[in-house]
Amino acid sequence: MQHLLVVEDEPVHRKHLQRDLSEAGYQVAVAADFDEAVRASGRRPPDLLIADLTLAAGRDGLELVESLRGARPELKAILMTGLPTDEVRARARALGVSLLVEKPFRMQALREAVRLALDGRQGGGRWTSPARPSA
């Protein structure tokens, strides 16, 4: 069973993501912030990181990807954001982030993005490759 680490600072969203992705057949660990995510990854390295772009204490999901990739360069990652700016896309592309999932999104779209990322592929729709230019 593939292991996901979901990093979301909003408790209601975190719980919803954990429940839905668990029901989809994944083992899901959750973290509320950068430091908790680093500890969770150290306990059990995930196959895929799903992180909100904006995290508490001035940290962001891109910093988290960079930090976790220090120990695990092959880590696949999805970032969730309501603001997929060109700067965010460029930073994500440079770090090799698999997909950016634009908020708001339906859970079905996130499940599809997870499947694509784990398979090493990219998709369209409400999720985008960081390489896709903004409209």
- Supply the CATH number for residue 51's domain: 3.40.50.2300
Q: Examine residue 13 and state whether it is found in any structural domain, yes or no.
A: yes
In this prediction, residues 120-130 reach a mean pLDDT of 53
Cβ–Cβ < 8 Å for 97, 78: yes
In this prediction, residues 69-91 reach a mean pLDDT of 91
In degrees, rounded to 5, the angle at the alpha carbon of residue 21 between the alpha carbons of residues 53 and 42 is 60
Q: Examine residue 133 and state whether it is found in any structural domain, yes or no.
A: no
Give me the number of domains the chain comprises: 1
- Position 123 scores a pLDDT of 46
Write out the residue range of the structural domain in which residue 38 sits.
Answer: 3-128
In this prediction, residues 111-116 reach a mean pLDDT of 94
pTM above 0.95, yes or no: no
The tokens describing 4, both together, are 């996901």
Mean pLDDT over the full length of the chain: 89
Q: Examine residue 48 and state whether it is found in any structural domain, yes or no.
A: yes
